[in-house]
Structure 1
Amino acid sequence: MIKDVTAAVIINDDLILIAKRGKNEKLEGKWEFPGGKIEKGETPQQCLKREIQEELNIEIEVGDFLGESIYKYSNEEIRLLAYLSTIVEGEIKLSVHDQTRWVNINELDRFDFAPADIPLIEKLKKRKQERNL
């Protein structure tokens, strides 16, 4: 059975927030767009607001749907739903991640991302390219 998971592509002044998964987490040391599992009765947007509050201690506004990525790990298959987001308020405090970084779109390839997040980087690049034409 496929599990729905969300990802926030948080953008501020052309920089994108990425987070490195912490010790004892699945995919420890991999970078990702932060988010989490959708709970029963939650919309993807509600899930993102809750997960980002829990994981990063910030409040976000969830914007446009960026796209989805389906990835089959050895023990489960996930559908990662990504939304463009912005910070409304708060200071980042980490709970499940080792670190966060603000990077520009061209720097994303330098990081070792979780496999499900990689197609989202391509979607971001394509979106940027379309807007700059």
Structure 2
Amino acid sequence: MKANLSLKIREELNIDILVGRPLKMTQQDYTSPAPCLYPILCTFCSGEVAFQKYVQALWVSPAELLHFDWTDSDRPIVDEYTKYLEDSNPPSRIKEAFLEILIGLIGFTLVHIFFNLYIALLITLILITVTGI
């Protein structure tokens, strides 16, 4: 899955990433079939973000993530990510980025990806193929 995710991010965003450890999976319960949300910590390696299609981007700081109106299934992911930031004590010059991506690997899957960057980024990318990063 790591290679697939890295390749898909490269295809869709024109950046190379190092796929890191996953956070806890959650599941949306307001649709059927219920998509699974797979948060994954990643590190930005190279490239410049180039949006291919169906993308909305907003630059935010990690603290600003708490002010968005997250769904019930997204909130535990944002909370766990915030706790991760507090526990890991990243250097003050480094901000974390949050990249929310809807990926169509098999059926409906939703992946949240977090990057270590000098600027924080919130990107929502939706591919229309009965799901989509």
TM-score for both structures, normalised by structure 1:
0.55
Gaps of at least 5 residues in structure 1 are: 1-42
2:4 is the counterpart of 1:47: yes
AA paired with 1:107?
E
* Aligned equivalent of 2:131: none
Identity %: 31
Structure 2 counterpart of 1:125, from 82, 95, 111: 82
SS at match of 1:82: strand
Counterpart residue type for residue 6 of structure 2: K
Ranked by relative contact order (alpha carbons within 8 Å, sequence separation 6 or more), the top structure is 1
Measured against aligned partners, the alpha-carbon deviations of 1:27-72 in whole angstroms (never above 9, x if no partner) come to xxxxxxxxxxxxxxxx2x2232122112211110011222211112
What is the deviation of 1:123? 0.5
Residue 119 of structure 1 aligns to which amino acid in structure 2? P
- 74, 96, 102: which one aligns with 2:31: 74
Supply the RMSD in Å over aligned alpha carbons: 2.2
Equivalent positions of 1:1-133 (< 5 A) are 43=1, 45-113=2-70, 116-132=73-89
Find the aligned partners of 1:85 and 1:113 in 2 and give their Cα distance.
21
Cα deviation, residue 83, structure 1: 1.3
User: Greater share of strand residues, 1 or 2?
Assistant: 1
Contiguous gaps of at least 5 residues in structure 2: 90-133
Query: Per-residue deviation at 1:113?
Result: 4.2
What is aligned with 1:19? none
Q: How many residues align?
A: 89
